[in-house]
Amino acid sequence: MDRDPPLARLTDRKHAAILEAAVAEFRAAGFEATSMDRIASRAGVSKRTVYNHFPGKDALFLRILESMLERGVCGPDLAYRADRPLRPQLLELVRQKLRLLHDPEFVDLARVAIAAGIHSPALARDLLSRLGDREEGVSVWIRAAAADGRLRTDDPAFASMQLQGLVKSFALWPQLSMGQPPLSAAQQTRVAESAVDMFLAYYG
């Protein structure tokens, strides 16, 4: 006879179901039209359950973006290595970013976030302040390489923004603003290699 799942496991399942339902609702209806009622209905839970997990729609949307952006944060295996050449390390960081930008869910939610920010500057400020450090993987790597004397910069955050701007100008903004298709594998390789080479030519 099957035993009931532990409460923690059941709670985790409901949490995951809410996030999945919210992603689908935000992608389909946008931020303004999505309601906690619709999310609860799609997730198959009560509205009270949704509020038990998330205090409001803003917090729920931020959590979704945070979980997606965590995929693009530098992991332990991508930490700066003093014993390895710079170029292959930086290429892997940029390729990781490109994998995130290639995700249709991420692109759709980024579009939702931009539209929501236009209608609510306060929400836009909150998004930026809460998510601003999610690019930190690249910044940490650049800061470590600079401290090791292998990059010339006294502002790793600025250098990181420049590098990621080179990438996003091909792999994010055209897709968001002009509906262009995601980059092919060959295009991603070209963007990654040229961005890294330009970066190292200046800062290396």
Q: What superfamily in CATH does domain 68-203 come from?
A: Tetracycline Repressor, domain 2 (1.10.357.10)
Per residue in 134-169, pLDDT (tens digit) is: 556 788 899 999 999 999 999 998 999 999 999 999
Per residue in 165-175, pLDDT (tens digit) is: 999 999 988 98
Domain-wise residue ranges, the chain = 1-54, 68-203
Q: Which residue has the higher pLDDT, 25 or 187?
A: 187
Does residue 42 have a pLDDT over 50?
Answer: yes
Q: Which two tokens stand for residue 121?
A: 């500057």
Q: Which two tokens stand for residue 16?
A: 């995951």
Domain 1-54 shares a fold with domain 68-203: no
Length of the chain: 204
Range with the largest mean pLDDT of 7-16, 26-35, 126-135, 138-147: 138-147
Which class would CATH give 1-54? mainly alpha
Q: How far apart are CA 85 and CA 6, in angstroms?
A: 49
pLDDT given for residue 69 in this prediction: 67
Does residue 117 have a pLDDT over 90?
Answer: no
By CB neighbour count within 10 A (0-12 exposed, 13-18 middle, 19+ buried), where does 185 fall? exposed
Instruction: Map residue 96 onto helix, strand or coil.
Output: helix
pLDDT given for residue 131 in this prediction: 56
Instruction: Map residue 39 onto helix, strand or coil.
Output: helix
